């Protein structure tokens, strides 16, 4: 297994090289104006999505080894649409790099009443299955709250966890608790991230110092610190 101690640095380097980590002013789904943004649309070719899936698989394998995720996960579920390539690339990387055979599943936006039919594509959900969710970035946890009822309507599955690319570490609108901790408390499963936003900015400064590239300038870091002072949990 790849050394997980440098996972946040390697992942941040990948985000920067893929131009998925953007700096500026971005209005989030929550309405907050953020000085940074993780653009999942930047993973737009085979190499990038394969690399991203490998990072997810590495994180999942590490959490299985640590005993925080079960070894007998039946399928990786990615909510449509952004979660679809995540689920597929993660399942491929788990079997190719870690020898873990696992299914993948994603939902349709609308139920199909012809052909194979139904709401789910890929490994079909059955009672008792262990399902691992994958998603890109969590700010408020809205996507999780939308997808859990869909899963439960399909079968009596056990959701064993959620793996994100980035935890923005932001508190919810109604509390000082982060969205990640709120989801864990509400649904009772653990949430993991390949890296959180503080790790990414620390790694970005390390990478900038080592490479001489102005990835994370003092101005960018100051704007991020100010944002997290207001919204961070």
The CATH number covering residue 72 comes to: 3.40.50.2020
User: Residue 141 annotated as binding?
Assistant: yes
**Structural domain contains residue 1:** no
pLDDT tens-digit map of 178-191 = 989 999 999 999 99
Paired tokens of 18:
């893929």
pLDDT tier for residue 1 given thresholds of 50, 70 and 90 = very low
Paired tokens of 233:
């949990």
pLDDT tens-digit map of 199-228 = 999 898 888 888 877 778 888 889 999 999
Beta bridge partners of 135: 164
Domain count, the chain: 1
- Catalytic residue selected from 112, 126, 152, 173: 112
Write out the residue range of the structural domain in which residue 35 sits: 7-231
pLDDT at 115: 47
**Structural domain contains residue 2:** no
pLDDT tier for residue 4 given thresholds of 50, 70 and 90 = very low
In the annotation, is 206 catalytic?
A: no
Average pLDDT, the chain: 90
In the annotation, is 130 catalytic?
A: no
**Structural domain contains residue 216:** yes
**Structural domain contains residue 166:** yes
**Structural domain contains residue 90:** yes
**Structural domain contains residue 76:** yes
Residues 6+ apart with CB under 8 A from 115: none
**Structural domain contains residue 72:** yes
User: Residue 82 annotated as binding?
Assistant: yes
User: Residue 59 annotated as binding?
Assistant: no
Instruction: Please tell me whether the overall predicted TM-score, pTM, comes out greater than 0.85 for this model.
Output: yes
pLDDT tens-digit map of 99-147 = 999 999 999 866 655 445 578 999 999 999 999 999 998 777 778 888 9
């Amino acid at each position: 297994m790849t050394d997980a101690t440098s996972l946040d640095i390697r992942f941040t380097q990948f985000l920067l090289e893929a131009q998925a980590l953007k700096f500026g002013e971005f209005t989030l789904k929550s309405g907050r104006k953020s000085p940074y943004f993780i653009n999942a649309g930047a993973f737009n070719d085979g190499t990038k999505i394969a690399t991203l899936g490998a990072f997810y698989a590495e994180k999942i394998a590490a959490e299985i080894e640590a005993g925080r995720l079960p070894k007998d996960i039946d399928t990786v579920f990615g909510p449509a649409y952004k979660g679809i390539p995540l689920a597929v690339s993660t399942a491929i990387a788990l079997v190719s790099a870690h020898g873990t055979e696992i299914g993948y599943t994603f939902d349709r936006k609308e139920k199909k009443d012809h052909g194979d039919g139904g709401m789910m594509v890929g490994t079909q959900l059955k009672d008792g299955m262990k399902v691992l969710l994958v998603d890109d970035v969590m700010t408020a946890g809205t996507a999780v709250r939308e997808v859990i009822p869909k899963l439960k309507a399909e079968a009596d599955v056990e959701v064993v966890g959620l793996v994100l690319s980035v935890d923005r570490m932001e508190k919810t609108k109604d509390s000082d608790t982060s969205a990640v901790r709120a989801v864990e408390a509400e649904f009772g499963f653990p949430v993991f991230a390949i890296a959180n936003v503080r790790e990414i900015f620390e790694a970005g400064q390390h990478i900038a110092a080592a490479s001489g590239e102005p990835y994370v300038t003092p101005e960018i870091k100051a704007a991020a610190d100010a944002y997290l002072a207001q919204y961070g949990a």
